[in-house]
Structure 1
Amino acid sequence: MTGTAADRPWVKFYDPWVRPHLDYPDVPLYAFLDDTAARKPHGTATIFQGARLTWAGVREAADAFAAALAALGVRPGDRVAIMLPNLPQTVITFYGALKAGAVVVMTNPLYTERELEHQLSDSGAETLVFLDILYPRVSRAVPRTPVRRLIAASIRDALPLPLRLLYPLKARREGHSLALPDQPNLHRLPELLARHRGAPPPAVTVRGEDLALLQYTGGTTGIAKGAMLTHRNLVANTLQTWEWVRGLERGEQRVLAVLPFFHVYGLTTALNLGVATGATLILVARFQVGEVLKLIQRYRPTLFPGAPPMYVAINNHPEVGRYDLSSIQACISGAAPLPVEVQTRFEALTGAKLVEGYGLTEASPVTHANPLQGRRVVGSIGVPFPDTDVRIVSPETGEEVPVGQPGELCVRGPQVMQGYWNRPDETARVLRDGWLHTGDVARIDEDGYCYIVDRLKEVIIASGYNIYPREVEEVLYQHPGIMEAAVIGVPHEYRGETVKAYVVPRPGTTLTEEEVIEFCRERLARYKVPTSVEFRDSLPKSAAGKVLRRVLREEALRQQATPTA
């Protein structure tokens, strides 16, 4: 099912406005910002806690940041890491870094020192933009990395005046310090922007084929590595996503930007899509269901890309009936399977079209979605995006399997990455003859609808975040009292999956569940920490000595299915 329109049976199920083939301009990603700012300079670009920025204001600030980076010595191709939640400064620094010709490394603010150190060292980032309250963690990790420029941003600077005055009190109550040391390599973002306000961005040439983003992922193994996404990759996936939803547009569009921009799903379907279409970005730094319901009622978003746990939380909020959610027109759910009951309930509450899609970091990330108005198939991730081809192949032979039979899902399209940063062997393993081998087991029906059956890569998806068992296991093995460890994902009503650890203690050692969890809590981001620990005398293994996570998962599923007395 590849190649020409005749080989793409799914095209006949596209919504009427969706074109099977799009034209992708050879422009840098930041051209979206420049075009939108020229078209609607006084339109509202961002809303955060009631504070608003115009498109002209965002472009001017992004230009100033680009000029500031150049003045600090950043050159085209240098890596600039951005470690921020969804703030106006995230929009400004992301596009500003691209305007300087830099390669952005989006970094999760929840990362521990160990995780941060790995990503900064592996990417070779010499500049880090971070949230000021994270300075204690950053200051401990950075000395062991190539970073030599620190740029601090503050939530306080994004707030309207009354809240800005109160923010230091709130930060102190939550145990955060806003104080920063006075040192030559540490800069404050507001001062940099003020110093370069009105300056043009540096005169650098950025082409579509140039690298724009290193987005870290475990890929099809548990070793975090940077997927190399070009400007062309990100432009293409933004335009593909826009094509999918544009038929529902009525009036001014507003995107509820609650998916984190440091995750490529949020970066494309919220940030880049909003900038490209000129939609107002309603920025949410942290998902809290009560606050999100208030934001929906107040600011009337029309597009709400999200993950199933978000829709579950809204559906189950005890006071959801008090809020008017009718402004929402379209939602593409990704990062985890979307249960049909969640879809049905959310659509009844809002009147919106909520459809399941699929993607992966290596594809910028979206490759599939169900049509918004056309045929939606329960349990299916939908059909391939425009200009996207699929194959289902045998993991053993690489040969294409018959329609309806399970095999590894492979995709090809303009959104597929160039490879993994400094990992040619891994790149060669997943990119073969132009096809991206996803590591997911799927089947495709005669109409081109795809269904995820299982995962070759045993990634755990909790609340939309990818958690790689090997990474958690490596932390467990650091504990002096643990002889063997294995980690699996078990079903969870709210998070989709949660982490369960199996531990074999060293002889003569006494361990408790809380001790093991606390050990992980100190070394892993919160969402990666096991929520339960089961102690064993041994772990199931293959004849070759490999721990059989599949057996553990089957046991866990049986335990969950067995009613307690």
Structure 2
Amino acid sequence: METQKPWLQHYPEDLPHHLSFENKPLQQYLKEAASEFPSKSAINFLGKEITFSELYTQSLKLASYLQSIGVQKGDRVSIMLPNCPQAVIAYYGVLFSGGIVVQTNPLYMERELEYQLKDSGSEYILTLDLLYPRVSKMKALTGLKHVIVTSIKDYLPFPKNVLYPFVQKKQNQLVVKVEHGGDNHLFKEILKRAQPEVKEVEVNTKEDIALLQYTGGTTGFPKGVMLTHENLVANTTMCSAWMYKSKRGEEVVLGIIPFFHVYGMTTVMNLSVMQGFKMILLPKFDATDTLKAIQKHKPTLFPGAPTIYIALLNHPDLKDYDLSSIDACLSGSAPLPVEVQERFERETGGRLVEGYGLSETSPVTHSNFLWGERRKGSVGVPWPNTESVIFSMENGGIASTNELGEIAIRGPQVMKGYWNKQDETNAVLKDGWLLTGDIGYMDEDGYFYIADRKKDLIIAGGFNIYPREIEEILYENEKVKEVVVAGIPDPYRGETVKAYIVLRDGQTATEEEMNEFTRKHLAAYKVPRIYEFREELPKTAVGKILRRALVDEEKEKLKNAN
């Protein structure tokens, strides 16, 4: 099927319509960066600097050790770490060894961890000492054989590394001691003992999987998205082309969004390695720490999620920090309210644009132009080499301009399929197109707009209601800090619209006040019937608000009431 690409006429002059991708495995880019920028800092972690040469050598040492304990081509190796140097070393080390990286959320509880280890068939895991008690239980429950343990303090500069255990105790955190021996391995000991000599592993970039990225699991069980070397190289190359004003070897990237999420992995880690950029890593998001890091390290690129930008804008001491180093921010994971975008740009002088993507697409497929035309409320246009269409919900054919339908993607970043789940793969991959499950439309210029997740559509009294539209209105209320709208069970209307609101610090509001505000802007059937004010909203590790969790909560209440 040939598709029209009206968006190409809007591409800035410096942005190529079509890219060619190098046929090489992803880890090759680290080898090249170490050769081109050996003594340049690749990572700053809480004051500790690591050069590209050190990063490469340590990745090879880990790879060599993994091979010595049995890792062979195609073996799955789980990485359960926050953003820290070990997470980067582990990622590239696993790839150099021939293994497949399985990104594992450090916040996973035992049941979630057991499911993922069993589903992926991981026999090896790299994790933090703090998480060891949880992980070690998996040996009896899953096929897990080897646990490699590291500590945050292993990569802290002096004197932070000496003080770290005392800080842990003060915060009542578990201080775990693990000995190097048997099937337990200490990361620090591996780097001391191993040689950076790795048995070369042949890679078919088109077919061989580099990464199993588990989807968030907001619906049903998480699925392992199979991303090949080609998928990841293509999407990182596209990202690089999109940021055409950035200078090779010169940019500084703020790494807050977790690398165990595909968005942080591509737009921070893989992009930085491919382009010789320096990463400023923070193990968790804290608004004050982030503002201090921006002032001190002067990052130029800052990929993030709307909740991160909102938290910074609402910081009481925002005016005390200089954020002017920031040139470009790509926002993902959730819709970016227009008001947040405009205010952030005023504060930094940089550009903040919304993008769109999925774990199944490595992840980015669309974005607004960083240095070019943007459309309010739009997720922008497809990236180079990426095709996108809207399939009509009426007849399944290609929808007409501005007609709502399901967004479909075709391009080199589209996954190979779901791990060991052929039926689920067949359901979303049709004739080379990935059916996203997202509802949206394309305007006459090729700009795409997301109405909502197919599964988040609210059908109340026979009307189709899209939560995002209501959320955008509520974000315009100056008292609102965060909001999510969901359809909750209603015996009369089938579903009814409920808004969950977090107010800005120091603000108060009533249901009546919010109701009056939304009624000014929305048709009566779209106006929320219920408003609930909360201290915080449930979120994933990457800051995406979990609408489904709120819906499930309401269903549980209803069940208990009956």
Give the alignment's TM-score, normalised by structure 2: 0.82
Instruction: Please report how far the alpha carbon of residue 223 of structure 1 lies from its aligned counterpart in structure 2 after TM superposition.
Output: 2.0
Q: 1:10 to 1:93 in 2, by over 3 A?
A: same
Q: 1:50 to 1:488 in 2, by over 3 A?
A: farther
CA offset digits 1:416-438 (Å, max 9, x no partner): 00000000000000000000000
Structure 2 partner of 1:440:
438
Aligned partner of 1:206: which letter? V
CA offset digits 1:309-365 (Å, max 9, x no partner): 111111111111111111111000011111111011111111111000000000000
Structure 2 partner of 1:404:
402
- Paired with 1:489 and 1:144, the residues of 2 have a C-alpha distance of 41
CA offset digits 1:67-86 (Å, max 9, x no partner): 00000000000000000000
Deviates more, 1:8-17 or 1:261-270: 8-17
Structure 2 partner of 1:344:
342
CA offset digits 1:67-123 (Å, max 9, x no partner): 000000000000000000000011101001001110000000000100000001000
Aligned partner of 1:144: which letter? L
- Paired with 2:132 and 2:307, the residues of 1 have a C-alpha distance of 30
Q: 1:249 to 1:328 in 2, by over 3 A?
A: farther
Structure 2 partner of 1:192:
190
Residues 248 and 330, structure 1, Cα contact 8 Å, conserved in 2: no
Q: What SS class does the counterpart of residue 388 from structure 2 fall into? A: strand
Residues 121 and 145, structure 1, Cα contact 8 Å, conserved in 2: yes
Structure 1 partner of 2:293:
295
Instruction: Please report how far the alpha carbon of residue 130 of structure 1 lies from its aligned counterpart in structure 2 after TM superposition.
Output: 0.6
Instruction: Please report how far the alpha carbon of residue 411 of structure 1 lies from its aligned counterpart in structure 2 after TM superposition.
Output: 0.4
Structure 1 partner of 2:239:
241
Deviates more, 1:347-356 or 1:452-461: 452-461
Residues 363 and 417, structure 1, Cα contact 8 Å, conserved in 2: yes
- Paired with 1:313 and 1:262, the residues of 2 have a C-alpha distance of 22
Is 1:107 matched up with 2:139?
no
- Paired with 1:382 and 1:526, the residues of 2 have a C-alpha distance of 20
Q: What SS class does the counterpart of residue 102 from structure 2 fall into? A: strand
Aligned partner of 2:70: which letter? G
Residues 307 and 544, structure 2, Cα contact 8 Å, conserved in 1: no
Structure 2 partner of 1:325:
323
Structure 2 partner of 1:266:
264
Percent identical residues: 47
Q: 1:236 to 1:344 in 2, by over 3 A?
A: same
Q: 1:167 to 1:538 in 2, by over 3 A?
A: closer
Structure 2 partner of 1:204:
201
Structure 2 partner of 1:515:
none
Deviates more, 1:7-16 or 1:27-36: 7-16
Structure 2 partner of 1:360:
358
Structure 2 partner of 1:73:
70
Structure 2 partner of 1:316:
314
CA offset digits 1:159-202 (Å, max 9, x no partner): 002000000011122322221256511100111121114x2222
- Paired with 1:80 and 1:38, the residues of 2 have a C-alpha distance of 27
Q: 1:36 to 1:494 in 2, by over 3 A?
A: farther
Is 1:130 matched up with 2:121?
no
Q: 1:488 to 1:260 in 2, by over 3 A?
A: farther
Aligned partner of 2:274: which letter? A
Match of 1:88 among 85, 88, 94: 85
Structure 2 partner of 1:227:
225
Aligned length: 488
Q: 1:218 to 1:295 in 2, by over 3 A?
A: closer
- Paired with 2:65 and 2:496, the residues of 1 have a C-alpha distance of 45
Structure 2 partner of 1:158:
155
Instruction: Please report how far the alpha carbon of residue 398 of structure 1 lies from its aligned counterpart in structure 2 after TM superposition.
Output: 2.5
Is 1:30 matched up with 2:27?
yes
Q: What SS class does the counterpart of residue 344 from structure 2 fall into? A: helix
Residues 376 and 382, structure 1, Cα contact 8 Å, conserved in 2: yes
Aligned partner of 2:68: which letter? A
Q: 1:276 to 1:494 in 2, by over 3 A?
A: farther
Instruction: Please report how far the alpha carbon of residue 396 of structure 1 lies from its aligned counterpart in structure 2 after TM superposition.
Output: 6.0
Structure 1 partner of 2:58:
61
Q: What SS class does the counterpart of residue 243 from structure 2 fall into? A: helix
Q: 1:250 to 1:72 in 2, by over 3 A?
A: closer
- Paired with 1:319 and 1:220, the residues of 2 have a C-alpha distance of 35
Q: What SS class does the counterpart of residue 200 from structure 1 fall into? A: coil
Instruction: Please report how far the alpha carbon of residue 27 of structure 1 lies from its aligned counterpart in structure 2 after TM superposition.
Output: 0.4
Q: What SS class does the counterpart of residue 161 from structure 1 fall into? A: coil
Structure 2 partner of 1:546:
none
Structure 2 partner of 1:475:
none
Q: Which sections of structure 2, spanning at least 5 residues, go unmatched?
A: 458-466, 472-483, 487-494, 505-537
Aligned partner of 1:56: which letter? S
Instruction: Please report how far the alpha carbon of residue 57 of structure 1 lies from its aligned counterpart in structure 2 after TM superposition.
Output: 0.3
Q: 1:219 to 1:168 in 2, by over 3 A?
A: closer
Match of 2:420 among 419, 422, 425: 422
Match of 2:389 among 382, 388, 391: 391
- Paired with 1:425 and 1:395, the residues of 2 have a C-alpha distance of 22
Aligned partner of 1:111: which letter? Y
Instruction: Please report how far the alpha carbon of residue 206 of structure 1 lies from its aligned counterpart in structure 2 after TM superposition.
Output: 1.6
Instruction: Please report how far the alpha carbon of residue 250 of structure 1 lies from its aligned counterpart in structure 2 after TM superposition.
Output: 9.0
- Paired with 1:299 and 1:205, the residues of 2 have a C-alpha distance of 39
Is 1:51 matched up with 2:48?
yes
Q: Which sections of structure 1, spanning at least 5 residues, go unmatched?
A: 470-485, 496-519, 540-565
Residues 117 and 142, structure 1, Cα contact 8 Å, conserved in 2: no
Residues 364 and 416, structure 1, Cα contact 8 Å, conserved in 2: yes
Give the alignment's TM-score, normalised by structure 1: 0.81
Q: 1:339 to 1:178 in 2, by over 3 A?
A: same
Is 1:450 matched up with 2:448?
yes
- Paired with 1:488 and 1:241, the residues of 2 have a C-alpha distance of 37
Residues 226 and 420, structure 1, Cα contact 8 Å, conserved in 2: yes
Task: Report the aligned-residue RMSD.
Answer: 2.9
Structure 2 partner of 1:472:
none
Aligned partner of 1:171: which letter? Q
Instruction: Please report how far the alpha carbon of residue 25 of structure 1 lies from its aligned counterpart in structure 2 after TM superposition.
Output: 0.7
Structure 1 partner of 2:517:
none
Residues 248 and 329, structure 1, Cα contact 8 Å, conserved in 2: no
